[in-house]
Every structure is written in C-alpha cells, then in structure tokens.
Amino acid sequence: MSQNQEFSEGFKKGLKVRGEVLGEEYVSKAVAKYAWGNVWTRPGLDRKQRSLLTLAFLTAQKAWPELTLHTKGAMRNGLTEIEIREAVLQSMIYLGAPVGLEAMRVTEKAINEFKAQGGAFLLKTLLKMASKIHNVTEFSYVTLNEGVNVFDESAAAKTYQNVLETALKQPGARRVYTGVEVENPSTLWLFLDWETLEDHENYPKTADHGPIFESLKPIVDFSKSINKHVTLTPFPPEDVLNKDCSPVTEVLLAFFPSDYDVAARATATRRLEEFTGVALKTSRDWRGISYGWSVENDVPIRGEEGKTGSMMAAFIGWPSVEAHQKFRETDDFKENIGLLRGIPGLVKLAAFHVSCVSKEAEGLSERDAEKAHEHSHDHGSGCC
C-alpha cells in the first residue's frame, strides 16, 4: 500500500470516528472557526508567514501528506519556490538530514504538481511571486572606461556619487557597498541591499533611472557588466563588505549547473559551512562571512565566456589581501580546501578581492526602528 493510500484510509477512519464522537456539523464548524477563522486571520502574521511556519511544523512531524497539501497552499499564499526550499533547508539543520531530504522530495514533487496544474498562467504568476523575495543584495559590476576614476574629485566621481545617492533614495534601498576589483581595477563592483527583489525591479521603471543610465555611458562600458541578485546569511552583509569593518573582502564564487537542485545546494552549503568552521575560523585575521545563493540560475560563469549557471557566493572579511594569502599557506587551509573543490557538481570555483566604501540610505535606522515598533505591537507587546 502506498503512503497516499495509507493516508487516505486513515483519514477516512479518522473522519468517521470524529463525526461519531462530536458530530459532523460541530467538528466542521469548530475547525473552520478556530484554525481558519480565529488563528489564520490574526494580524500578527500574514498568510505567507503562516504558511512558512506550517511547512516547518509539518516537516518536524513528518506529516508528509499534509506537507504536500500545505506546500501547494503556500504557493497560493505567495511563497516562492526559493522560499519553500530555504524553509526546508533551515529545518534540516535542526531535524537532521533524513527528515530534511524527505521533506525536499515531498515539497519538490508538490511544487512540480502545482506548476503543472496551473499551466502558463501559473508560471507567470510564480514569476511575479518571485519578485516578493525579501532581503536581497544586488550583485553587479560595470567596466570603467580607460583612465576613469570614480573615487577621486573628478567629474566622473561626482557622476557616480549621484548614481549612488539616487539609488539609495528608491523605496526599499538600504545600503550600498562599492569598490574596484583589486585584481582588475577597471571592474567596478556594486552590491546594494534591497528590502525586496521587487523594489529593485521597480527602479528602472521610475523617472529617475533613465537620466542615471545616460549619465554613466561616458564613463563605463555596459557591454562588460552583469546585474544579478543573491540572498545572504547573515543579512545585511555590512560587517564583511564595509571596509570600515573589513578593509578587504574576499568574494568567493562557486558556480554550478543551472538546474542544480535543492538537495545538491544543501550539500554545497554544508560544505561551505564546514570549511568556515574548520579552516576560516582558525585564522586570527578572519573578520566574518556572509553567504548564500543567486536568485537567478543564469549567472555568467567567471572566466567562461557564454556559459551561465547557479552561483553560491561568499563574502569573507580580511584586514588585507596579504592576510588572506597568508591564510592560504596554512595547514588548516590546505587540509580543508578540498571541502569546496570537491563539492559534487561544481563547475568552477573563483575568487577576487574588493575594498568597498559603504553608504546607508537616509532614514534607514528610523525606518527599521519603526518596523520593529510595529512588529512589537502586532505581537501584543506594545509599549504605548
């Protein structure tokens, strides 16, 4: 007998006994009133948040049929595939690999069934949902034209300063980190924290964007550029990307096939976390790490023209490039780098260094404080 058949039979028996004991009408009304009427409608959490919690609880209970049902419900409530996968990965940390892997299998199947049932309209809707991803960092670079310096007192520098200031005025923009690549100073990197992916996607639609884009044309080559997004832990990555905290940032990039699945990503992430624990943390010079996956699965693979894939990125703070190179000569590095180089499915491992100046959006601290205040009221701990 299959798992679904077992569930179906048990479910029927349960309904029968429940009805005999309490009465069908009472049970139906009680469940609808308490669970869906009283709890799911409370203002403290939105439906997406409640769905996310429900997925975690059902995974912990190993309630696989219910997890299938609620995975589809979560997507109706606006959760994206990425958010569901991240919830399962988070659960795996505390519930163990066997439970986590089974939850991955169940949720992936449910996601595929949900997408198949909805057809083209559903796929379009899911793409729209993806814009709701929270706490993303823009991952981008442009190539400076020969002789251009955007960090001095030149006209080009003033133009670039206006670019940054205008971006930080956009709704959802939080903090920008920018600097040239140490190994290739003509490559100008920009990492910008956004509250949601949608906030960044809305920026090009504004009246501000056109003039900004035009102002950059005399100083940069847009034919040699990328603009993607990563979701990082911890977020924001200020401690490792602001040179006031980490004078130099190692940007470690691991590229994988575009269809690299959630179980494989979990393995790759664990490898990076293990390397952090047994190697990076042994260095007195190490300042911290912020890491995560690209939102997109078509990130250009560094040094491989025309090839794209999924990307795991790690921002690692150091006091200097020399300190990082010194770490690479240690036994802790040499004995453990195989954890990364041997990740199953790895296409390429690459790294470079930047030293980023950072600027915060005006009023960000006040904005965050207000949100925290609203959150405390929503959860019944208001102070006034």
CA dihedral 186, 192, 197, 202 (to 10 degrees): -80
Contact 315, 368 (CB under 8 A): no
DSSP code of residue 361: P
The pLDDT value given to residue 261: 86
What number of other Cβ atoms are within 10 A of residue 19's Cβ?
A: 14
Q: Could you report the per-residue pLDDT of 156-190, keeping only the tens digit for each?
A: 999 999 999 999 999 999 999 999 999 999 999 99
The pLDDT value given to residue 44: 76
20: alpha, beta or left? (left if phi > 0; alpha if psi -120 to 50): alpha
Q: What is the pTM of this model?
A: 0.67
The pLDDT value given to residue 2: 52
**Ordered mean pLDDT values, 10 residues apiece, the chain (384 residues):** 55 63 58 64 79 91 90 84 88 88 91 69 46 87 97 96 96 97 98 94 93 95 95 94 97 96 88 95 96 95 94 98 98 98 98 98 79 52 38
Q: Which helix (H) or strand (E) holds 288?
A: strand 288-294
Shortest CA distance to 106 belongs to which of 30, 197, 7?
A: 7
The pLDDT value given to residue 29: 57
The pLDDT value given to residue 380: 47
DSSP code of residue 181: B
Instruction: For residues 236 and 174, give the distance between their C-alpha atoms in angstroms, rounded to a whole number.
Output: 9
Please provide the size of the chain in residues: 384
Shortest CA distance to 193 belongs to which of 332, 36, 358?
A: 358
The pLDDT value given to residue 120: 39
Query: Dihedrals φ, ψ of 272, to 5°?
Result: -65, -45
The pLDDT value given to residue 116: 75
- The alpha carbon dihedral of 333, 290, 313, 160 has a sign of negative
Instruction: For residues 299 and 311, give the distance between their C-alpha atoms in angstroms, rounded to a whole number.
Output: 7
